[in-house]
Structure 1
């Protein structure tokens, strides 16, 4: 069997047995394809089972010379390691060539965040006189209040909003469930949207339970959420390059700046490892001197 056959088998494994999202699967496959392309370019004429640690070292040197950042190199290596773990799992190989391969040394890249003032400016720039504006206000309030991924936001179901206790039931990566608190303001705008705007939509079949819908009564797409945020940033003249994930970064940072426990934030974000959460601890020392009365500005 050739590379493409094994790559397709790995893709099916990620989808059926690991239950990964489409985006995660595509990221893994792109990493393996890069290795395949290197093998073809180098005329190595080896199958995945014949790859050695020497081949992998040469590959890593190659992508480094291409100018890939250490973070990108580390991500590519992570995908390749997952591929060979699968081959081991399926007993197609008896020795993992990635076992002794070390990734590049990484410095922590600080994610872009918005100040609370910037969050307010964006929210207040929304035109509340339109149905879409009411929806957008509720959507961004929820995004910032609960630190959701954009995929979790657009997949949010009405039946997973527990207004009485102030929690959302979120289905995250790998179909893992978690309960996330929703702030008072976010819940207020969400109720306005669902009770006064959403009920007037002609909802498409199969989309009845999704919270956030477009004009055609279908659930919003990732691209639409990105576009809404980009347009708001342009409207207020914001120079930062922001996205839905910026709200998630800001949610985590503001909580930690407010003194919230890392493990509590880890739980709300749905992170597997606490080291993933520690990237948000880039605290301004002057800011720490201030008296912080609440963990989250809009709680």
Structure 2
């Protein structure tokens, strides 16, 4: 008799070879097709289908049908699976994917969201967001960040009946919230938290909810200690590109990401939002969307070549993003994912950790070092105001030395 290895994958019991239960075999086959469409490999799909088959077996045991699938039924199934002496690993690693399938296929009702505000606090936050959108003309990215940072302040003035007592909102309450909300974050994020709270207070004052301005009493965030923009040397850029293997899809993608960042100076979010239709191959331009604005940049030869190599091996994806995840579900990469590519490659190259925004600094500094003007650097970076770009002039040491008067001489 063959003895099971101690390191073998633990199963509480085996899934029947012939599917049984209300989900066999139509729903199981539908799940397989859905997983293939999402980009899951056969090895990743099998645990999800097996978990769904286990759910089908259990549903037959308790006498439940397809129409009985809801959150309560799934909770009972999870409790039963986790009560075993040996818990099946698929319950831990495949549960979320199975729920996504059941929701997408219409067998499970989506979780109730907060699309429509139902409490006074939610109504107030929604109204504040509309004020930022239409009165302040802020981008959706900024609005979402401020709502995330400052929306919780209204919980401090919410009464037992759910109503908002604006008279309770004073500097002590605000400062306690700012200190608690910013505790898990760094200095830069704390600055954004204070800015978001100030925006909320300005809206409340302008709409008559507050009868006094308490912005002056808010504690100032500590200095972020930001210095001059810090770029990346050509040797470091070469090291990042050297560890990208263009013969593999992931290497081709990473090489294209590095090239776009360092040559065009885009933000990580702008690269993540690039779509296939944003590339105008006929005119050699790239449409960039970010900070609520759009601008077109010419595509240099090396950028075009890197994009061509990547797009030839780009797998079929769920959307038309230029850069997509290599693991299922294959869809647009996030801003954090793109910056993580740069950090991962810097580790492979054996250099200090580098993130995407330093490559953006490098592009601007290269323009000035090559004799370009601040206006040209501003157009490349997509800044709304030239004053934002002026910080890069401070690191152009060659030009600054020409402007500086040697010691002992009279300026002309």
TM, length-normalised to structure 2: 0.54
The equivalent position to 2:147 in structure 1, one of 29, 50, 59, is 29
Match of 1:227 in 2: 340
Distance of aligned partners of 1:243 and 1:70 in 2 relative to their CA distance in 1, 3 Å threshold: closer
Matched, 1:165 2:275: no
Which structure 1 segments of 5+ residues have no match? 41-45, 291-299
Shift in CA distance, 275/74, structure 1 to aligned 2, threshold 3 Å = farther
Give the whole-Å Cα distance in 2 for the aligned partners of 1:211 and 1:237: 28
Distance in 2, Cα, partners of 1:56 & 1:274: 39
CA apart distance, 1:92: 3.9
Deviation larger for 68-77 or 133-142: 68-77
Structure 1 residues 160-212: Cα deviation after superposition (integer angstroms, max 9, x where no partner): 112343321112123x2112233221112112322x323xx3333xx1x3212
Residue of structure 1 aligned with 2:376, choices 246, 264, 287 = 264
Q: How many Å apart are 1:114 and its aligned residue?
A: 0.8
Kindly indicate whether the alpha-carbon contact (under 8 Å) linking 2:249 and 2:313 is maintained by their aligned counterparts in 1. yes
> Aligned ranges for residues 37-48 of structure 1 at < 5 Å?
47-48=165-166
| In 2: Cα distance, 1:120 partner to 1:287 partner | 26
Distance 1:81 1:61, change over 3 A: closer
Map 1:53-202 onto structure 2 (within 5 A). Answer: 74-88=191-205, 90-93=207-210, 96-98=213-215, 108-174=226-292, 176-194=293-311, 196-198=312-314, 201-202=315-316
1:268-283 equivalence runs, <5 A: 268-283=380-395
**1:20 equivalent in alignment to 2:134:** no
Separation (CA, whole Å) in 1 of partners of 2:216 and 2:230: 34
Distance 1:143 1:69, change over 3 A: closer
**Which structure: larger Rg?**
2
Aligned with 1:244 (options 356, 369, 381): 356
Cα deviation, residue 130, structure 1: 0.5
Shift, 1:39, TM fit: 7.8
Are the structure 2 counterparts of residues 221 and 39 from structure 1 closer, same or farther at C-alpha, using a change threshold of 3 Å?
same
Give distance in 1, aligned partners of 2:396 and 2:268: 27
SS state at 1:178 partner: strand
Consecutive unaligned residues in structure 2, runs of 5 or more: 1-118, 159-163, 403-412
> Is this contact kept in 2: 1:149–1:245, CA < 8 A?
yes
Pairs aligned (count): 274
1:263–1:274 Cα contact (<8 Å) kept: yes
Aligned to 1:213: 324
| C-alpha spacing 1:26/1:137, structure 2 compared with 1 (3 Å) | same
Is the contact made by 1:60 and 1:73 (CA closer than 8 Å) also made in structure 2?
no
Evaluate the alpha carbon distance shift between residue 284 and residue 152 of structure 1 in structure 2; reply closer, same or farther with a 3 A threshold: closer
